[in-house]
Amino acid sequence: MFSILYNRGLYPEESFVKVKKYGLPMLLTQDESVKSFIANVTAQLSEWLEAGKLQRIVLVIMSKATNEVLERWNFSIETDSEVVEKGVSREKSDKEIMREIQAIMRQIASSITYLPCLDEACVFDVLAYTDKDVAVPFTWIESDPKLIANPQMVKLHSFDTKIHKVDTLVSYKNDEWDEQ
């Protein structure tokens, strides 16, 4: 999430610090409210992910002034139920998984070349799509899907761990000049 927030310019460049993660230089925010929000979201998502109950995560970028949805970063998750329920082991090296994560991180960073500029103040939210039987913390609220009418869509690389396959798609609002 931090890479998307940085690359899409949601927060000032100086509010990020460079660290090495997944074998790549990455930028993490130093904004305490953002760090706290993401830490809470990540903790809950991890719980659902480990239980095999998480189907999709969507990072939504919206206009701060109008709440219009400008981008949706959709991470669809397929869980190998045999691994979760029966503890069956799948063979895939950590090196292979790391290489796939690196590829998607590079693709997210390069996405700024084809996504429209966000030339207004923006905010973000995280949507989680889970199995129906999942208990939702009281601090989380139901939301509409925050869809974009007639979006442009770009499919990014997938990656596959021993347990989960993640497909990534970014959809964004068409600029008016593109429609002429």
User: What would the CATH number be for the domain defined by 51-173?
Assistant: 3.30.900.10
pLDDT digits (tens, 9 = 90+) for 26-79: 888 999 999 999 999 999 998 898 888 899 999 999 999 999 999 999 999 888
pLDDT of residue 84: 66
| DSSP β-bridge partners for residue 123 | 62
Q: How far apart, in Å, are the Cα atoms of 97 and each of 91, 107, 125?
A: 11, 16, 27
**128's tokens:** 């989680």
Strongest mean pLDDT among 61-75, 83-97, 165-179 = 61-75
Look up residue 73 and give its two tokens: 């970063």
